[in-house]
Amino acid sequence: MPNDKKQLGAFGEDAACRYLKRRGYKILDRNYACRLGELDIVARQGQYVVFAEVKLRKNADHGTAAEYVTAAKQRRVILAAERWLQLHPVGLQPRFDVIEVYAPAGLDTRSPEIRHLEDAYSL
């Protein structure tokens, strides 16, 4: 299957954004990067600014997608989120979510399965 990593990542993030928007989230930023780390999606839900890490997999045969958000990755996301908040003082409570996107046929998957883990880890 000729699906390169960058295209698959964008596919997963697009699916996650559509999912969040359908649930009333407002997307504030995507693919924010600084020297400390990267944020896939920054969104607002009520009193929260949500920093969502998106993980795409074909299936969960080798563990859930969320299991690939290691402690080291969590630290990098938290540091990048702190920097984002310095630049964008929104006055909202930060929350760290993981969005698992399962696409068995890669880019040809019509309806990827999405699992949203709210408050998956904290500062």
Count of structural domains within the chain: 1
Q: What's the confidence (pLDDT) of residue 58? A: 85
Q: What's the confidence (pLDDT) of residue 1? A: 40
Q: What's the confidence (pLDDT) of residue 89? A: 94
Is the model's pLDDT at 4 over the cut of 90?
no
pLDDT tens figures, 67-121: 889 999 999 999 999 999 999 999 999 999 999 999 988 888 889 999 999 999 9
- CB distance 87 to 78 below 8 Å: no
How far apart (Å, rounded) are the C-alpha atoms in residues 43 and 54?
A: 13
The CATH number of the domain where 78 resides is what? Answer: 3.40.1350.10
Cα–Cα distance list, 103 to 8, 20, 24 (Å): 9, 17, 23
This prediction has a pTM of 0.91
What percent of the chain shows pLDDT beyond 70? 98
Nearest to 101 by CA among 7, 2, 8: 8
What percent of the chain shows pLDDT beyond 90? 76
Q: What's the confidence (pLDDT) of residue 59? A: 83
Q: State the residue range of the domain holding 77.
A: 5-121
Is the model's pLDDT at 33 over the cut of 80?
yes
Instruction: HSE, CB side, 13 Å, CA atoms: give it for residue 90.
Output: 23
Q: Per-residue pLDDT averaged across 34-50, rounded? A: 97
**CA torsion angle 68 3 7 50 (round to 10):** -30
Is the model's pLDDT at 2 over the cut of 50?
no
How far apart (Å, rounded) are the C-alpha atoms in residues 9 and 101?
A: 10
